[in-house]
Amino acid sequence: MTEMTVVPRADATLPEVRVNRHWIGGAHVGGAEMSDRVSPSHGVVVSRSAKGTEADARAAIAAARAAFDDGRWSRLSAKARAAVLLRVADLIEGDVERFAVVETLESGKPISQSRGEIAGAADLWRYAAALARTVEGDSFNGLGPEMLATVLKEPIGVVSIITPWNFPFWILSQKLPFALAAGCCCVVKPSEMTPSTTAMLAELLDRAGLPAGVVNIVLGYGQPVGAVLASDRDVDMVTFTGSTAVGKQISRVAADNLKKVALELGGKNPQVIFPDADMESAADAVVFGVYFNVGQCCNSGSRIIVHEDIAEDFVARVVALSAHVTFGDPLDPATQVGAIVTPEHGAKIDAHVQAAKAAGARVVLGGGPLQVPGLGAQFYRPTVVTGVTPDMAIARDEVFGPVLTVLTFRTAEEAVALCNDADYGLSAGVWSENVHTCLAFARNVQAGTVWTNTWMDGFPEVTFGGVKQSGQGREVGRYGLEEFMEIKSVVMRIGRTRANWVKTR
């Protein structure tokens, strides 16, 4: 493709450099050593953040431990906890634009998507608030006239929350309000590349009346901050979103003291296109699925498996639609695809594409950096790769960029086998007008989420998570709340009905 829809640099006034500090025990602390985040789209310093130390991490854990143990949050009524979460949601909604601009400049994503992420996150906080008041256990009344047993659900304790750079505020909001709704106290470490919206949330939590120490935020890098949050014995649970490789490291470290671990990791998510699919809708969803957030999304629809009878026509539709997707300045509301998060990540994306070409695949669209007028080359062209075979690395590895791989199939059984022939199992999609085809696919594919005739629709009520090397545990929905709870059985004898075991006479 020689023509693209490119949005040049907009005439926008950039905000002043934001300074971020840790939030520990209800106060801003730290800042002896700082790190700068340079905007991937605009090439200017967006934020300057404290670089956390091992001591900072342990201080934050100690604050959370004290807050949990004295019950200032965990022993509040669910009604009282829910009221705080609802106030946080209101404050988020009232501050969408300020948060969105900073997130766009730090991450490179389009401003329209940042606005949607921040505003949508408020709904996660509201739903978690509603769930807080629905926690219930079980009772067992059939154990005999002298016995009664109950099963209680209690907060698991201190939770470390480690979040990634691609959806910093949304993914935090898939975890933090649910942990708080359960009654837990938390220590949060955002990515060093997109720390600001998490640091800004501290202001809103304070204004909403969250007690000091219940949420603590430590900025910085995986070493040493993340390592401490995963290993410290005073942490009862770690929840992490990021790469599968780092998730495995966290599991190994956490195993030393058997703390609970919840992981939301990588994906190589397939969409299967049957001949009876609505081609127009399917092609549009495929284009959205691979280019949304520049493909830097665990749910990216990065591989399609198309019936061989329609493959040529369907790929042509996808290529034609790609010409109308607007790449460029993320501060322009018209932009749909922004910048790659770092030059190093851009180089990794291109390496995947070049390796596929060397292995015999064909790049029928894009493949290479994109120069945006006024902004530079930290962008990547929309890319479609055909002639892919299941054994190629690009068919199996997570590229995490705007790169679509195309495979073909002949039978439904072959399509499911291709989907399942992967280390990952985060999400999958099927396109067919036959409900039986869709249901059979949904039952047989190995994925935590299956979309039928749609892609990437999500709701606070619907639980999310992966199987195989895409992770363990679940987020959002009722199961997302229960992830942060421990089960306790209470067995009671009524009256002095127990016969003595020791006979004194």
Q: Which residues are catalytic?
A: 264, 298
Q: Are 121 and 476 in contact (CB under 8 A)?
A: no
Angle at 416 between CA 442 and CA 174, to 5 degrees: 50
User: Which residue's structure tokens are 């520049």?
Assistant: 294
From residue 233, how far is each of 50, 60, 454 by CA, in Å? 25, 13, 43
What span, in angstroms and rounded, lies between the C-alpha atoms of 195 and 190?
A: 5
| Amino acid in the structure at residue 334 | A
Q: Are 367 and 347 in contact (CB under 8 A)?
A: no
From residue 49, how far is each of 18, 20, 32, 101, 221 by CA, in Å? 8, 5, 10, 17, 11
Q: Are 260 and 236 in contact (CB under 8 A)?
A: yes
Three-class SS state of 305? strand
Q: Are 280 and 318 in contact (CB under 8 A)?
A: no
Q: What is the pairing mode between strands 138-140 and 147-155?
A: antiparallel
What span, in angstroms and rounded, lies between the C-alpha atoms of 221 and 193?
A: 9
Tokens of residue 287, six digits: 């284009």
**What is the DSSP code (8-state) at residue 265?**
-
